[in-house]
Structure 1
Amino acid sequence: MSALTLRAAVTAFSPLAERIGADIGYGTAIVGVFGMLPTAMFAVAGLITPLLVRRVGLERTVLVAMLLAGFGSLVRVFSGGTGELLTFSGVALLGMGIGNVVIPPLVKRYFSDRLAVISSLYIVMVQLSTVIPAFIAVPVAEAHGWRISMGVWALVGFAAAVPWLVVLRDRRGRDKVDTTAVPAEPTVAVGKAWRSPVAWGMAGMFGMTSLTTYAIFAWLPMILADAGASAGFGGSMVALFALIGLIPALGAPTVVSRMRNPFPVVVGCMVLFVTAFVGLLVAPMHLTLLWIVLLGLGPSTFPMALTLINLRTRTPQGSAALSGFTQGVGYAVACIGPLLFGMLHTWTGGWVAPFGLLVIALGVLLLGAWQACKPRMLEDTW
């Protein structure tokens, strides 16, 4: 239930951005700001969550995350102006960003003997929280208005808080982190992550996957429109791109957990990415479905990275530190992906340079994965 909240505030808004702008009065520039807000807030959450976990424990942190996601999603639909909508969208996204970081160590704490299965489950829920709001946003808005269309997802956040209240009652204070497992100062675990090649490798792997994925989400409709496709076709291809992500979400955690060093899988993902890029550049309206399927399988490195957070740490505390560092740095870098992609297209008038940027990102991803996939533990390298 928690994982099902983690993207709803993003994809419930995007299809309605123009409609909402016409209602409360903002232009296309603000749409760009909204486009960068998710990765920015996820980056902030990645940096502050390990400290929050150290102070109040994993369970209280995820409870706070779900309440923030529900509260922000609810209040923003009553906004009468752009400032309020941005502010409370930021609150909702901060809650979701904290959830992004804290769920992997919770999986490690409660299901250390079933990491692959539970990782697949929650990553699939994340994918569904990306796809479902986007699919139903416009029909619900046409029937009941955009405020109902977006506000209904607040209920999911509040509902996801309820099981954690039960868990906290059951634990009776045992949700605090084990202070014997980590240094006493809350900043030390984060600081040591910064000095680990495992952490930097994970950040590179996660960050470049996110940068590439968000750039594709933002610009795929325009790439196809320039090739002669209709707006409806472009939108359906974005939906297909998101849906294909369910396949690696189901399979990648199991594959990674069974391999001592899963780097060859990363190399295979890079081949899929590059093949799709070439296809979209050379023949975007021929074999389009094939290019989108390959493009959707390329980001298998996303569920791989989330699974490796637990496979490359010994304790929930190490997992929290690695998750926070990986997602904090990764999402901070991913923020600039759609912006740079668009700027390169504007400057050059074509798509070769923007795709060149993504190829460079894939090179950094490979270097990061080389470090992240090595069979060693974060705690042994920091």
Structure 2
Amino acid sequence: MGDQENLQLIQQESFLNYCFKRNDQDVKDWEEWLAQNPDRRQEVDQLRQMLLLMGDGSRTRTISADFADLQNRINHSARGLKVIRSSAWLKWSIAASILVLFSVGILFYIAQNAKTANPKLADVAPGGNKATLILANGKKIDLSGAGNGAIANETGIKVIKTAEGKIIYDLSNTTAAANGQYNTIETPMGGQYQVNLADGTKVWLNAASSLRYPTHFSGNERKVELTGEGYFEVAHQKNMPFKVASAGQTVEVLGTHFNIMAYHNEPVVKTTLLQGSVRISIGKQHTLLKPGQQAARIGSKISVSDDVDMEDVVAWKNGYFKFNESLEGIMTKISRWYGVEVVYETKTDPNLTYSGKISRGRNISAILKIIEFNGDVHFRIDGHKVYVTK
């Protein structure tokens, strides 16, 4: 079947009706086919999400890495696909249909049709590099408004802000008085920041988080205090272990990469090891982690899992959301990053799981449209409040 005939089928809106839920029979037919071909559900779901994102009317939207990956995988598998014959109109393969979208310039047609299917939401811009640095003398520096370059000098320790959204500690002129001085960096809701500590350790802070740390490490350990979420790449120092105190636990390492999620409004504190080794201590209880493991702590009880999606854990650090959880879990993350309050006007199903991946650089409406499309829920935005409705 040629591209021209495929294009005619797309213009009949059978697949688009399924994607945008505009025709019950089309939706039923596609769902029946997907039930018979579960191996194709992922491609279809990803395509639906991409079509939905184009539904905001943008004619110049950049195709994401996900879309490129989807196209690549389908290009490699298209030859092995069979023609679908489960109904009168369902005579075309998913691969052919998707390839037509790229090859015949149909993206504008889809975007125009999607406008009517998805009324435009009010919007909130994404978070960014925002933080406050609190010096040892109590002085507060708004890093969002501070210029690049040296922003402080404490007992010979120079604090430098870079254009990339991070601060670096220069110890070249350190004096003995630097010992025992602490700085704190705090990110607000809708903020993130990177700090390079005096020992070379790199820390990325997620939204609504803080890190308290010495401006110069001395003695027999390097100890910092974390609230919220942080990703650590610890500089190796054999005789000076690095310790992170967070939410009643202490994580001890020599040199490694790990993530700690310890928000006060989350029921579980999660420590995930990507590289190296760590020891988690709660009082006299100690737990060792190996790379690829995650420790989940509730109260004084720790459980260790080997079944961990590492991409999911560090998605926030790498600039995107990766969801595989309940609506409330997703909305908690959205609330932090976009600095919004979530108001539930209806009960949500805790057993319903939403999955997806999208850049944290998009406005909030792009995320909410995807969720609306994939579940029996709607949203209303009023200022910095998001209302969840049926």
Same-fold call, TM > 0.5? no
**Larger radius of gyration, structure 1 or 2?**
2
**Greater helix share, structure number:** 1
Instruction: Please give the TM-score of this superposition, normalised by the length of structure 1.
Output: 0.24
Instruction: Please give the TM-score of this superposition, normalised by the length of structure 2.
Output: 0.24
**Greater strand share, structure number:** 2
User: More relative contact order in 1 or in 2 (CA 8 Å, sep 6+)?
Assistant: 1
